[in-house]
Amino acid sequence: MTKLSVNINKIATLRNARGGNTPNVLQAALDIERFGADGITVHPRPDERHIRYQDVHDLKPALQTEFNVEGYPNQSFMDLVLSVKPAQVTLVPDPPGVLTSNAGWDTIKNQSLLSEVIATLKKAGLRTSIFIECDHSLIEGAAKLGSDRIELYTESFAVNYRKSKEQAVAPYVQASQWAHDFGLGVNAGHDLNQENLGYFAESLPYLDEVSIGHALISEALYIGLENAVQAYQKALGK
């Protein structure tokens, strides 16, 4: 059954807006686990505008579920994940200063960089995932690089869901099948929400994990964090 990993970046954004430690990022993560999430995701960026590197160090020993750390594999990020050793490292092609993730990796053009990074992570015993779009050659490239999983970039699905959900999900169904054929696990994330998640999850034949932050945390402002986590688990059939 598909796992729900909750991205807590937005909680850190709120904390940083005022300074201090309210809301408490660590406590929020522990509460999200207690409310039924299967994992916690963070995406530290070089400017630490939301999740700080220290947050990653604080979270790792306290969490009971899977810890997924996303980011661009510059030296500081690599030093961080090799030190913390989360359950999964998701490689995202974010240049410095980008507002949010807006594209997947070109695994062919970036073969040299990614092959070295993935080899280093796997030597350390870390599961790897590559943020990617629904392209056969790029997914094949991820497999050739030795990645364990891909994370499908789902903005296109979310944007087109209300126009035609069947057409919107079709490329992701095909991509999930390609990934499975290449021996890759399948994660997904970006703009998935309570409205479209259930259909997406039931449509993909091999979906290991979804990572959801912005929509879930936003909905929690209205219905509460516990209710939001459980609503998303219900959407996944749990």
Catalytic positions, please?
A: 43, 70, 190
Residue 115 sits at the vertex; the CA angle it makes with 110 and 117, to the nearest 5 degrees, is 100
How far apart are the two ends of the chain, measured CA to CA in Å?
8
Query: CB of 157 within 8 A of CB of 165?
Result: no
Query: CB of 75 within 8 A of CB of 104?
Result: no
**What are 150's strand-pairing partners?**
130, 186
Residues 35 and 31: their CA atoms lie apart, in Å, by 6
If you search the block for the tokens 């590559």, which residue do you land on? 130
Query: CB of 13 within 8 A of CB of 46?
Result: no
